[in-house]
Amino acid sequence: MTAPPLMSVGSPPLPPTVAVDPGVVPDTLDESPLIPADMHPPVDLAEDLERFNARLATYLKPEDITRVGGAYVFADAAHRGQMRISGAPYISHPLAVAETLAGWHLDAHALIAALLHDVMEDTAITKEQIAERFGKVAAELVDGVSKLDRIEHQSFEEAQAENFRKMLLAMARDVRVILIKLADRLHNMQTLDAMRPEKRRRIARETLDIYAPIANRLGLNALYRELQELAFRHAHPLRYRVLSKAVKGARGNRREVVNKILEAIRKALPAAGIDADVMGREKHLYGIYRKMRDKHLSFSQVLDIYGFRIVVKDRPTCYLALGALHALYQPVPGKFKDYIAIPKANGYQSLHTTLIGPFGTPAEIQIRNADMHHIAESGVASHWLYKDESALDQLQKKTHKWLQSLVELQSTTGDSSEFLESVKVDLFPSEVYVFSPKGKIFALPRGSTPVDLAYAVHTDIGDRCIACRINFEAMPLRTELRNGDRVEIVTAANAAPNPAWLGYVKSARARSRIRHFLNTKQNEESAALGERLLGDALRDLGLALAKLPAQAWDRFRRASGARSQRAVLADIGLGKRLPAIVARRLAEGVEPAAPGVAPEGRAHQAILIHGAEGVAVRLGNCCRPIPGDPIVGLIRKGQGLVVHTHDCLAIAKLRSERGNWIDVEWEPDITGMFEASIRVVVRNVRGVLARLAAGIAETDSNIVNISMDKDSGEATTLFFTLQVTDRIHLARILRAMRRVPEVVRITRYVDPKQH
């Protein structure tokens, strides 16, 4: 049964009754399932509609074609009178987007959403109205693609980040959202010439940073390359023109070499009993440009601007073809990659090798079978194009896993900008493959460390990670992993993430999980500290925190806009609210527990410092206080309580904040190790450092860090960071170091850079 045409070139235009206000949903549109081809003769929509109809007729049922036709008529009426900057009727844009999706054989819901994807954004039509006419699925897809223009944001960048956040989370629920958005971006890039130059550059940059990597992550290789080329042309028009001219010139110079390689491959494979399709391909301009930029090469130094693709019948034949080619030309060592045995994260599979062809010209070769070729070109869209492909199972699992990771990121990141940055880390394809002790392969971003692997295995493994063994050797956690490393993670039951890990982890999952843990811990500790500070302030007013009536807290929350009592306490602990002010506002209308006692008669209780407070209470990095030092505390906004020695230079600079100073004391029975910095001036003779280290070791101390002044003559200044228990222990260490004859002067050191 053949499907009825979606349009007819000779169809009459819609009657005047259909030309409606964009904010009104026309009831009469369902009566005409056909798309009138002659509605907009200036841009020759008839030809576009005819091509679109032909694509739909190849795979959609007649009833689905009728529904898509209704969506077109609806969209055209909603956008009636709207024009693109190029002067074309606006309906030409959603039609182009839907045509791209039809090329991927997407279903009727996606095509309807593509035709309607701008009506919520550009007209007064609502999601509920779309759901009523075209179903809930199409309405959800349109909502996922629509921007958040009606929400106020602090800046354009924040608005864009929030839009991406919404779009990516909608994509996690239904991958068709991002396919519609990518097709939308493709047509916008194809028609970008009508925009102002600065806007063209901004949109092109955004495409290179976000949309092209997403297309690559989903395996849409053809779309990925086209977006890159279009973005490169608009972001760097002069470079694009110069490079394009150079490549055209090189075609003539290198045609003989390319043809010779192509002919040799086409003879060698049949001679080895291999039936294959062999294609020569020119590298894309952006790929050449990026290679020149990253490796600091001139165009004449980029020899491999041509590559060759070989498609064979099955997987074993891929390896047979590889052997035949390596016998034909010399392979370049280290340039072979087996993406068949270890596919890329987006499901891509091929063998890659580089051969030295005639006249020393390198030739890049890709070898794959037909199934791999479909997935390499269409990626996740293969789900609709080639539903019988067994290889799609693995691709769908990988895509689903990545999409679910977006949902996890959403729950552990703070604002939209942080979420977007985390996603961008995972969008760029450079990967390193490592093995667990049981032989399981993990793909991680290049530059990843054992901490990244620990979080890739499980969040609990990452949180409790304390050490690692790489290829059976104990190595630091910040060690950069290389392809093929065997990595074993060592955990401890009471371990916790270290804030320093954020300085070297690469994966978005690890970064978001560490931040989530630290933020949670900071809130808990800040709330506990805030409770102590508020309790002291209330005692000055003759009140007890535990006996405050609930009405006082309710009144304060309503007046201040605080979310909860715990949030107020956390803000106090972080220095965002002053405890005295909060106490006075809470005390309004509350009778003191002991009204006869004057506030001045109530002694403050000093906060006890035991050295392991964590995030909310920290020891100053400038003066590094240790038990036995006279100390003072300072509440600073967003930092919590920072403890300094009483003579720290930072305290003198912060006299204006005296109202934020807090009484603190060391815990009487304090234990543990603290860091202390010392400066030692020594005569520059051989072996002096070894003698100093031996003296430190004899006093049961450990050297955390050591550095020296670069200017060294007869005397050298050494800086040590040592682990000590208290001032008495430090004094013993200094005495031991003074016994070294070469020591000229030794003092405790305060780092001026930390003030």
Does 711 score more than 50 pLDDT? yes
Predicted pLDDT at 430: 62
- The whole-angstrom separation of Cα 202 and Cα 343 is 34
Does 350 score more than 50 pLDDT? yes
Predicted pLDDT at 593: 56
Task: pLDDT band for 282, please (50, 70, 90 cuts).
Answer: confident
Predicted pLDDT at 50: 83
- The whole-angstrom separation of Cα 533 and Cα 539 is 10
Does 29 score more than 60 pLDDT? no
Mean pLDDT of the chain: 77
| Catalytic positions, written as ranges | 121-122
Task: pLDDT band for 44, please (50, 70, 90 cuts).
Answer: low
- The whole-angstrom separation of Cα 402 and Cα 429 is 13
In contact, 221 and 382? CB cutoff 8 Å: no
Quick one: average pLDDT of 307-314?
90
Domains and CATH numbers, the chain: 7-237 (1.10.3210.10), 248-382 (3.30.460.10), 430-502 (3.10.20.30), 507-594 (no CATH), 606-672 (no CATH), 674-754 (3.30.70.260)
277 to 4, 310, 312: CA distances (angstroms):
37, 6, 7
Predicted pLDDT at 631: 87
How, if at all, do strands 277-282 and 607-609 pair? unpaired
Quick one: average pLDDT of 580-596?
69
Instruction: Report DSSP state, residue 211.
Output: I
In contact, 643 and 637? CB cutoff 8 Å: no
Task: pLDDT band for 168, please (50, 70, 90 cuts).
Answer: low
Give the CA dihedral 102, 105, 107, 113, nearest 10 degrees: -30
Between 171 and 432, the more confident residue is 432
Between 147 and 75, the more confident residue is 75
State pLDDT tens for residues 206-256: 888 878 888 887 778 888 889 999 999 999 999 999 888 888 777 666 677
Predicted pLDDT at 322: 93
- The whole-angstrom separation of Cα 666 and Cα 651 is 18
State pLDDT tens for residues 548-563: 888 888 888 877 777 7
Predicted pLDDT at 77: 87
- The continuous run of DSSP H or E covering 141 comes out as helix 136-145
Write the single-letter amino acid at 268: A
- The whole-angstrom separation of Cα 743 and Cα 726 is 23
Least confident span in 72-76, 156-160, 178-182, 625-629: 156-160
pTM over 0.75: no
- The whole-angstrom separation of Cα 661 and Cα 248 is 71
Angle (nearest 5°) at CA 661 between 658 and 663: 140
Burial readout 593-612 (b: 16 or more C-beta within 10 A, e: otherwise): eeeeeeeeeeeeeebebebe
Predicted pLDDT at 658: 56
State pLDDT tens for residues 317-334: 999 999 999 999 999 888
Between 187 and 653, the more confident residue is 187
Predicted pLDDT at 58: 86
Instruction: Report DSSP state, residue 30.
Output: G
Predicted pLDDT at 3: 42
DSSP H helical ranges for 236-314? 237-271, 285-295
Quick one: average pLDDT of 25-39?
35
Predicted pLDDT at 18: 29
Predicted pLDDT at 253: 64
- The whole-angstrom separation of Cα 590 and Cα 628 is 41
Predicted pLDDT at 311: 93
Nearest CA to 32 out of 48, 51, 11, 46 is that of: 11
DSSP 493-543: TT----GGGGGT--SHHHHHHHHHHHHHHHHHHHHHHHHHHHHHHHHHTT-
Predicted pLDDT at 189: 92
In contact, 463 and 517? CB cutoff 8 Å: yes
Does 31 score more than 60 pLDDT? no
Quick one: average pLDDT of 608-625?
72
- The whole-angstrom separation of Cα 348 and Cα 671 is 55
Does 159 score more than 60 pLDDT? no
| Neighbour count for residue 256 (Cβ, 10 Å) | 11
Does 696 score more than 70 pLDDT? yes
Q: Which two tokens stand for residue 273?
A: 């009993």
Quick one: average pLDDT of 299-314?
80
| Neighbour count for residue 457 (Cβ, 10 Å) | 15
Does 27 score more than 80 pLDDT? no
Task: pLDDT band for 598, please (50, 70, 90 cuts).
Answer: very low
Length of the chain, in residues: 755
Nearest CA to 434 out of 418, 414, 451 is that of: 451
Q: Which two tokens stand for residue 158?
A: 């924040």
- The whole-angstrom separation of Cα 518 and Cα 499 is 7
Question: What would the 3-class secondary structure string for 92-122 be?
Answer: HHHHHHHHHHHHCCCCHHHHHHHHHCCHHHH
- Evaluate the CA torsion angle 375, 381, 386, 391 in order and state its sign: positive
Q: 3-state DSSP call for residue 670?
A: coil
Task: pLDDT band for 671, please (50, 70, 90 cuts).
Answer: confident
Q: Which two tokens stand for residue 384?
A: 């609709």
DSSP 454-469: HHHH-HHHHHTEEEEE
Least confident span in 243-247, 489-493, 556-560, 619-623: 556-560
745 to 250, 379, 690, 710, 733: CA distances (angstroms):
69, 68, 17, 18, 14
Instruction: Report DSSP state, residue 619.
Output: E
Instruction: Quote helix, strand, coil % in the chain, to nearest 5.
Output: 50, 15, 30
Predicted pLDDT at 187: 92
- Evaluate the CA torsion angle 163, 169, 175, 176 in order and state its sign: negative
- The whole-angstrom separation of Cα 631 and Cα 646 is 5
State pLDDT tens for residues 388-401: 444 445 555 556 56
Quick one: average pLDDT of 250-272?
82
Task: pLDDT band for 152, please (50, 70, 90 cuts).
Answer: very low
Between 170 and 294, the more confident residue is 294
What share of the chain in percent tops pLDDT 90?
15
Predicted pLDDT at 15: 30
Predicted pLDDT at 324: 92
DSSP 681-723: EEE--TTHHHHHHHHHHHTT-EEEEEEE-S--SSEEEEEEEEE
Least confident span in 33-42, 114-123, 164-173, 639-648: 33-42
Q: Tokens 């290198």 map to which residue?
A: 254
Task: pLDDT band for 712, please (50, 70, 90 cuts).
Answer: low
Does 507 score more than 70 pLDDT? yes
Task: pLDDT band for 533, please (50, 70, 90 cuts).
Answer: confident
Strand partners, 746: 680
DSSP H helical ranges for 389-507? 392-412, 416-427, 450-457, 459-463
Between 659 and 507, the more confident residue is 507
Least confident span in 8-12, 191-195, 259-263: 8-12
Predicted pLDDT at 22: 34
